[in-house]
Each structure stands twice: as structure tokens, then as C-alpha cells.
A and B are shown apart, each in its own frame.
Chain A
Amino acid sequence: MTPANKIQGMLSDIAHGRSGDKGNHANIAVIAYNPQGYEWLKANLTVEVVCQYFRERKIHRAERYEAPNLLGLNFMLYDVLEGGASRSLLIDTQGKSLAYHLLQMPIEIPDEALKLRNPQEKIPS
């Protein structure tokens, strides 16, 4: 694939997600629309990329878990909520908006097929 064929887009073109809190930590699940998209996520959406994207939050520790059955990656971002639900001075005390923001990440999509979406039958058997 030559770069000229690549499509400029956003992570939300190929994935959906949800985020929330666990004490002072946040988790962000990013879930591909199809198996091809999941392979792209695994190869490209690394812990380093996510931490760099949220660099203003100065993330010191993060982990990525794989849930291939859901075509999902789960990121744990440690100590990012400025003290957690009760202590945080942020508007978003519980990291509810993190998934939304991550899905706005600009990406180069190698193939239109990654965008194919069917919420009724996501994983072909």
C-alpha cells in the first residue's frame, strides 16, 4: 500500500469505546468494528501512542490488555484522575470523557475495509 492510498481519518472511523474510573486510575476500552480493524489497533494503538496523545496528563504508568473475543484493547492509565472521584479538581473527575477524546485521534487508515461496521454481528463465526 503506498501512502497515497491512505485515508486520513480518526480512530472513531474504525473503533468505538468507553472509559471510566477505578479509584485514581482510569480505563479506556477501544473496540474495533471488525477483525481487520482489531489487527490494526493491536499493531498501532500502543501504550506509547496513547500516553503521547494524552501527554498533558503526564501519565507515568499505563498498561494495555487484549480482549480478542470483543476485538477490544483495554488501557489502564494509572494515577491520571488527580486523586480520583472525590479528590479530583478536574471537571471530569472519573475519566468519563477519555474514550471520546481518544476516539478523536487522527489516524491514517490503510484500507476502507477497517471502517466496516455491523453492531448486530461484529465477529464473523
Chain B
Amino acid sequence: MKRIRIGNGCGFWGDSVDAPINLVRDGHLDYLTLEYLAELTMSILALQKQRDPNAGFASDFIEVLSRLTPLLIQQPRLKIVTNAGGMNPMACALQAKAVLDKAGIRRRIFLVSGDDIFSKLEEILKDPSELKNLDTGHSLETIRSKVVSANTYLGAQPIARALESGADIVITGRVADASLTVGPAIAEFGWAMNDFDRLSAATVAGHLIECGAQATGGIWTHWQEAEPLDTIGYPIAEIDESGVFQISKPPHTGGAINLETISEQLLYEVGDPAAYLTPDVVSDFTSVLLKQLSRDVVQVSDARGKPATPFYKVSIAFRDGFSSGGTLVIPGARAAKRAGEILLARLRHAGFSYQRSYVEVLPGPTENSEAYLRVSVHDPNKAAVERFTREFAPLVTSGPQGVSGYTTGRAAVREVFAYWPALIRKELVEPKVEELQ
């Protein structure tokens, strides 16, 4: 039976830059997936693109690709599927091509876009019931002027189409994380889009590997048993055409794959496990059976699926003021809490109040142990938040005895982008697949 091996070497932007290299070197992969986009990464990338039309994508990918070039020469059939395109798949693809050209490597690069619906918002909002907040039911009109990005989570179909057209590297904008795995499975096995059980199986595989080392012993409750974690291997899903798959990792790597690590990851960031929604399928995680085949190899079977909903999920980010958080170390938890209150009171005396503020103390083992104080504020007024950052240092001389932990300097002021979850009818979105010429 035909099988494909898909390894995920990146679970988020900021993940290990060595993991993809090690995984390709030792993983015997058919596909490498790299997942870079969190809910709010798109808003940051949108602003980068506003400032520089050649920016707005996950630049780590270019560095990774550059380091991968010797291995790509040895492994000419390896394909890469990544959402590194972010807000600007074309700019990402052009830089990727430049890296490959420099190394003398020829690969067909395809782009998947059409997820960015920002420029269509006016048209879509002619029907004000569209894009209502999934949690609150509020109309998007209430924050329309502050929106910086709006992206639909596309599915596996455009990725599959690119691969079927001969892509070696597929660079996408926002797609559902699991679809990075489902796309190759559809392209390789020719599954129909109404083959819900198999689409569900690949979705489960994608969900299990999308967070990288979280499937191989990272953040496991018994992570100490997965030692050594310093050489942790990243996960590989070997999927057969019936939809049964095995999760494994390269030989001689640290970490662990067992029923505990896999069941923890299966339920990670899940709501109703009987109805995990993606653009491709409604996947039933409560149907799957796990079986340990050998050390660090778990087989996953019996996934069931139902037809996908008529909607794509949309991630909208909007400007929501400024925030900052600063920390100090203070002997005694009660003293630490009082120091936080003094800080906020001094700001009040100076005429500054905040929409939201929070004093958090992580106590030491005894009341007199040094405690970790963190004070944070959030407000539309940037000047007020800037003033807040200057109130920490004075506590070193005018607060409790023994204040330390201030050498990292003044806290930074951060622009806040709030998240607006919504749905959009699929017919309003046009996924686009094109080859970079």
C-alpha cells in the first residue's frame, strides 16, 4: 500500500531553527511542512507589509531554506509545504527562489493566496450580518475603522491542486494548520473531497504534528521521562492510502512518543473533540484508536469524518490601544503585592489611569522568599502606557527593601491587536493557486 511520510519541522514562528534541518537530514521525508502563523501573527505581518511591500511573511523560512539547500541537493524529490507566505506569499516565494538560484537548485514554487479578504471588507459588509464576532455576536462595523488584517483559513484543496500541478514547494498565506498535511495526502492518494473518513484521518495527522515537538514529548505531563529533550526529535506522520497512519520521529533523537503524549496532543486546543472543524471536514477525534506499535511509534486509525461546514473561519485583527508589563523581584510575596499597588497609586497621583491594570505575584516557597512581581496595563492612550514604564525603577529606592531584577531595562510599550473571530460563507472567498515564473 502506498505511504507518504510528512514531517513537521516548525510549530510556530520562533520555533527551533535547527529542527527542520535535523528532520530533513534524518527523517526520510516525502514532505516537510513548516507552520509559522499564530492567530495574531497576520496583523504584525500586515503592518510590516504596509511599511515595506517586500515584507510581510515569515522571514525565518528563508533562513531555514538557505540552510536546507545542501540537503535539497541530496533529496531532489523532497517537497515543502509551508504557510510562511503570511500576508505576502509572492514576496516570500521570490526570496525563496533567490536562495535556491544562488545554490543552483531548480524547484517549481507555487503560491496559494486569496485568504486575505481585507480589501473586500466593504463589499462583504454590505450585508451587515456577515463577519459578526463568533463570541459576542457584535457587528464588525463597531470596530471597522481599526481593522488591520482579515484572513480566511483556507483548506487543503488549493495546496493539493498546486502539488498535482507539479509543485515542489508550496507557499501559502493563512490556511488551517492541519490542511498543510491534508493537502499532500489528497494530492498523493487522489482522495475525493467527500471521502470524509480519510480527510478526517489526515486532519488528525496534521493536528498531531502541527505543533512540532508537542507530539514527541515536549510539554508532556511526564516530560522528565522523555529526556533527553535537548535532542528532541520532531514528529513524522507516515500516512497510508487507507488513512491509517503512524506518528514517529527520527532515530537516535530525544523525546518520547506514546499513548500519553499523543492523546495529550490530540486534545490540545480542541473544543468539542467529536467535532473538530476545519475547512476540509468535520473530524471526530473520539472515534480514533491509538496503538503503540513499537518504541516511539504510535499508530492512529479509525478516524471518522463528516462534511465540512459551508463556512471558512476568519481571523480579523484590529488595533486596540497599547499595553506594557514590567517585572521586579521583591523579598516577600506581600511586599511584592504592596509594591505593585504603590506603583499604580503613584501613577494615579500623577494623573494617569488605565482601562485595565493587573498586579500578579508569583510567590516563593515561603512568605519571606523572593517573589516575582509583574504589573501590566492596557489603555488607548500611548502616553499613559509610556509613563507606566517609567514607574518601576523608582521602586528600587523608594519601595520595599531588597528590590532587584531590574537590570533588563525599562519595559517596552506594545501596540495591542485584538482578535475578532468570525465566519464567512465559502462562496465569498476565491482561493488562488499560481506558479512563480
A interface residues (Cβ-Cβ under 8 A, vs B): 12, 16-18, 20-25, 27, 29, 31, 65-72, 74, 76, 79, 82-87, 89-91, 96, 99, 103, 119-123
CB of B285 closer than 8 Å to a CB of A: yes
B267 contacts A18, C-beta separation under 8 Å: yes
Instruction: Report the minimal beta-carbon distance from B148 to chain A, rounded to whole angstroms.
Output: 12
Instruction: Report the minimal beta-carbon distance from B249 to chain A, rounded to whole angstroms.
Output: 16
B376 contacts A89, C-beta separation under 8 Å: yes
B362 contacts A85, C-beta separation under 8 Å: no
Q: Which residue of B lies closest to A95 (CB)?
A: B269
Q: Residues of B contacting A76 with CB < 8 Å?
A: 271-272
Q: Complex Cα distance A12/B358, Å?
A: 30
Q: Which of B254-275 contact A (CB under 8 A)?
A: 256, 258-261, 263-274
Q: Which among A23, A31, A87, A120 has the greatest number of chain B C-beta atoms within 10 A?
A: A87
Chain B interface size, under 10 / 10 to 19 / 20 to 34 / 35 or more: 35 or more
Given contacts A86-B416, A119-B225, A122-B260, 11 further A-B contacts (CB under 8 A): A18-B265, A27-B268, A69-B288, A69-B290, A70-B286, A84-B39, A89-B376, A99-B221, A120-B258, A120-B292, A123-B290
Q: Complex Cα distance A121/B289, Å?
A: 12
CB of B360 closer than 8 Å to a CB of A: yes
Q: Which among B38, B260, B287 has the greatest number of chain A C-beta atoms within 10 A?
A: B260
Q: Residues of A contacting B288 with CB < 8 Å?
A: 69
CB of B311 closer than 8 Å to a CB of A: no
Instruction: Report the minimal beta-carbon distance from A61 to chain B, rounded to whole angstroms.
Output: 11
Given contacts A74-B273, A119-B258, A121-B292, contact A89 B267 (CB under 8 A): no
Given contacts A31-B264, A67-B267, A67-B273, contact A23 B421 (CB under 8 A): yes
A72 contacts B259, C-beta separation under 8 Å: no
Given contacts A69-B289, A89-B356, contact A18 B135 (CB under 8 A): no
The digit string for B19-58, where 1 denotes a CB below 8 A from any CB of A, is: 0000000000000000000111000000000000000000
A86 contacts B418, C-beta separation under 8 Å: yes
Q: Residues of A contacting B270 with CB < 8 Å?
A: 27, 29, 74
A70 contacts B263, C-beta separation under 8 Å: yes
B260 contacts A31, C-beta separation under 8 Å: yes
Given contacts A85-B40, A89-B377, contact A31 B358 (CB under 8 A): no
CB of B323 closer than 8 Å to a CB of A: yes
Q: Complex Cα distance A31/B265, Å?
A: 11
9 example contacts (A-B, Cβ-Cβ < 8 A) are as follows: A22-B271, A67-B267, A69-B288, A71-B263, A83-B418, A85-B419, A96-B219, A103-B221, A119-B222
Q: Residues of B contacting A122 with CB < 8 Å?
A: 259-260, 263, 290
Instruction: Report the minimal beta-carbon distance from B368 to chain A, rounded to whole angstroms.
Output: 22
B323 contacts A29, C-beta separation under 8 Å: no
Instruction: Report the minimal beta-carbon distance from A15 to chain B, rounded to whole angstroms.
Output: 8
Q: Complex Cα distance A39/B274, Å?
A: 19
